Amino acid sequence: MSSTAPQTITPELRQWIVAQAEAGCRPDDVLAAMKASGWDEDVAIEAMEITLRQRLDELHPRPPDPLLPVQPGKPLPEPRLEGRTVLSLKDGHRVRVLTTMKHPRVVVFGGLLTDAECETLMSQAKPRLLRSETVQNETGGSEVNDSRTSDGMFFERGETPLIDRVEKRIAELLHWPLDHGEGLQVLRYRPGAEYKPHHDYFDPVHSGTPRILERGGQRVGTLVVYLNTPEGGGATTFPDVGLEVAPVRGNAVFFSYDRPHVSTKTLHGGAPVTAGEKWVATKWLREGVFV
Ligand SMILES: O=C(O)CCC(=O)C(=O)O
Ligand SMILES: [Fe+2]
């Protein structure tokens, strides 16, 4: 190679650089070898950088930029409101539309569950409540965490006739297949308990996320149903937009997120309960079948 010849990164050179790196050669030695065979130092450094970056991208593809609309028109759970203030469901149940917001996408429903349904869910959940855990980012497992001081439990999908009825109602309301939903989670917050602001999607930067995504892909929507009306506190807050949803028995707040990114403005939390208890049932919706 002569230093005056055009110095392009040929496939052979690329293979050679990758082979040196993968054999454990120090970059300085690779550079020295390239210089000895006529490469200009700056050009050689650039060739190495470009080649090795390309190789890393091949080995570890980067997740798509969450700010780009990766899947334009990606389907999301979404109620068909069409200007209505009351939605009549197949089981004869009527749900009121109390508040809607475009960005973040938030819809507050009134009367999603009856008082009796709320009572039954609370009493069925109560004996199984344990201190809530949050996702452990590194492993994808779960752990007890100060940011979430509630007690919780999960029902299996379709575990009881009531759960089945509620899940079918949610699937119809949000136009999202029943089998894309996680099992219903019930949480109890005692006085002082809270759930600090968080996102419900799994952050792609965490090493434990791929394992979690094996069971149905990303979460794309959340429905929090209030099973009682706490005497004080306990609103569901959306700090990015200053929205607070009052916890009222039977009502529910739905929000969706088309990508696992803060730009969805779906940061939310359960404000501390100041008096009495707060009980909620959460349904998380995945992009695929949750197994
Ligand atoms: O308790 C609330 O208001 C919010 C619950 C919540 O964020 C969740 O279950 O993911
Ligand atoms: Fe949440």
pLDDT tens digits for 162-203? Answer: 999 999 999 999 999 999 999 999 999 999 999 999 999 999
The yes-or-no verdict on residue 129 having pLDDT over 50 is yes
163/279 same-domain check: yes
Q: 64 lies in a domain?
A: no
Share of the chain above pLDDT 70, in %: 88
Of 221, 225, 247, the residue nearest 234 (C-alpha) = 247
Q: 3 lies in a domain?
A: no
Q: Give CA 189 to chain center in angstroms.
A: 22
Ligand 1 center–CA 150 separation, angstroms: 10
Q: 75 lies in a domain?
A: no
- Of 151, 282, 283, 284, the residue with max ligand 1 atoms within 8 A of its CB, to mutate for a pocket test, comes to 282
Q: Are 31 and 41 in contact, with CB atoms under 8 Å apart?
A: yes
Average pLDDT over residues 106-134: 94
220/162 same-domain check: yes
53/122 same-domain check: no
Prediction pTM value:
0.76
20/143 same-domain check: no
The yes-or-no verdict on residue 142 having pLDDT over 80 is no
Q: 73 lies in a domain?
A: no
CATH code, 193: 2.60.120.620
pLDDT for the residue numbered 218: 96
95/210 same-domain check: yes
Rounded CA-CA distance 164/172 in Å is: 12
187/44 same-domain check: no
The yes-or-no verdict on residue 64 having pLDDT over 60 is no
190/272 same-domain check: yes
114/248 same-domain check: yes
Can you give the residue range of the structural domain that contains 41? 11-59
46/132 same-domain check: no
Locate 1 and state its tokens.
Answer: 């190679």
Return the ligand 1 atom nearest residue 234 CA. 3
Rounded CA-CA distance 170/182 in Å is: 12
Q: Which of 7-16, 30-39, 138-147, 163-172 has the lowest mean pLDDT?
A: 138-147
Q: Are 109 and 173 in contact, with CB atoms under 8 Å apart?
A: yes
As for the ipTM of the complex, it is 0.99
How many domains would you assign to the chain? 2
Q: 81 lies in a domain?
A: no
Of 225, 246, 231, 263, the residue nearest 105 (C-alpha) = 263
pLDDT for the residue numbered 57: 67
